[in-house]
Amino acid sequence: MNAGSGVDVDLMEAAIWTETMSEFLGVDPGPVGTFLLAVVGAVFWGSVVLTVVGVSGIWFKRKFNARLGDRVAINRVGPAGLLIMPADSLKLISKEVVVPEGADPLLYRLAPMLAAVGVIAGFAIIPWGAGLQLADPEVGMILAFAFASLLAIPIVMAGYGSNNKYSFMGFEREVAQAIAYEIPLVVSALAIVPLVAYFGDTTSPLKMSEIVAAQQGSLWGIDGLPIPNWFVFAQPLAAALFFVAVLAEFSRNPFDLPEAGSELVAGYLTEYGGVNFVLLFLAEFAAIFFGGALFTAFFLGGGAGPLLPEPVWFLGKTFAFFVVVQWLRATVPRIRIDQLLDLGWKYLIELTFLNLLLTGAIIWVM
């Protein structure tokens, strides 16, 4: 796969956080130094992600949903209820942890931690901007999907380990849903890979930075067209299918069946409280942002945008994705589990494969 010329490889390598930092410091770090630099970067981006997730998960989500329902929501704790964030975190962290009887203590306690680790670690490959991305391996897109599907495992552990019937049904649904929408998720994104190779003129089109770079020209490579070559314009069907698949993969409305507040109490979260609940909740919200970051990188041109620096645009687009997800939450009713499977297996999979074939045919003709 590494068939690019030496110059290209140098440019790509320079687009990683550790390389940027060592160049900035003017030293050549060994493996240990690289690791330390990477830890600094990981702490930085981890804090950014956690801040955004915390603000939007605890405060913005409630405010926004209340506004859609013509309510006011939190407004007593600090200005506009903003101090609810430290208050809620402190409250939840200092709550007693009650392990339900008959539960598997190891699975029950390990699931929230694993959920948080998997989702946050996935942000390592998100292309925030040139020189800021933590890691840019050649298998970027595949690694992204690996991280995306990782969340299902802690949910199974939580659901099975809780010894609660609601949790059990929640995890059964989660597994069926995760495997039904895994395939449309990957195949719809696969349809942009030939486009990356075509417009980006590259031999490693799975790289996240290459995917973003290929979207920077004008649409379809036509000179002077004022529309950017974001794959949401070049591949609208793939973008729509990917959006639906992301919603289902991370169990967002109208596909939030594993939690299904009005049917299963809280699904796999039923027996969780205190710090374990915090971690699962965090993982769930971080997963929305992970999905949004993938959508931004694959279809919305990454950090492309006028005036503001790349990471700001990237985070802004990701946040816009989150807002749309919350909007759907307030407006679209939940579908049934059999309808969900039907939609996934009988329509999305076929459509994504047809879209892939269509893309291939267009590439072949061009």
Partner 1 sequence: MSDWIAIAAMVVVAGGLPIGVVLVSRLLRPSVPERQKQKTYESGEVPTGDTRIRFSIQYYLVAMMFLVFDVEVVLLIPWAVYLVQDPSTYVPAFVFIVILFIGMGWAWRNGAIQWIRPKGRERVRPRDV
Task: List binders of partner 1 among 206-235 (CB under 8 A).
Answer: 206
Pick from 9, 72, 332, 357: which binds partner 1 (CB under 8 A)?
A: 357
Closest CA to 288 of 95, 141, 151: 151
**Shorter beta-carbon distance to partner 1: residue 74 or 269:** 269
Pick from 28, 70, 223, 338: which binds partner 1 (CB under 8 A)?
A: 338
**Shorter beta-carbon distance to partner 1: residue 19 or 259:** 19
What part of residues 7-26 is at the interface with partner 1 (CB under 8 A)? 13, 16-19
Q: How far is the CB of 131 from partner 1 (least distance, A)?
A: 13
Does 237 help bind partner 1 (rule: CB under 8 A)? no
Pick from 24, 165, 227, 308: which binds partner 1 (CB under 8 A)?
A: 165
What part of residues 180-199 is at the interface with partner 1 (CB under 8 A)? 180, 182-183, 186-187, 190-191, 193-194, 197-198
What part of residues 22-61 is at the interface with partner 1 (CB under 8 A)? 31, 34-35, 38-39, 41-43, 45-46, 50
Q: How far is the CB of 323 from partner 1 (least distance, A)?
A: 25
# residues contacting partner 1 (CB under 8 A) = 92
What part of residues 67-106 is at the interface with partner 1 (CB under 8 A)? 93-103
Considering only the stretches 51-59, 78-86, 290-298, 346-354, report the one whose residues sit in contact with partner 1 under the rule CB under 8 A.
346-354
Does 311 help bind partner 1 (rule: CB under 8 A)? no
Rounded CA-CA distance 98/102 in Å is 12
**Shorter beta-carbon distance to partner 1: residue 209 or 253:** 209
What part of residues 145-164 is at the interface with partner 1 (CB under 8 A)? 160, 162-164
**Residues 92, 288, 15, 23, Cα dihedral to 10°:** -10
**Shorter beta-carbon distance to partner 1: residue 198 or 233:** 198
**Residues 330, 186, 287, 176, Cα dihedral to 10°:** 70
**Shorter beta-carbon distance to partner 1: residue 81 or 280:** 280
Q: How far is the CB of 283 from partner 1 (least distance, A)?
A: 9
**Shorter beta-carbon distance to partner 1: residue 71 or 91:** 91
**Bridge partners of residue 16, in order along the sequence:** 133
What's the full length of the chain, in residues?
366
Any idea which residue has 């670690």 for tokens? 121
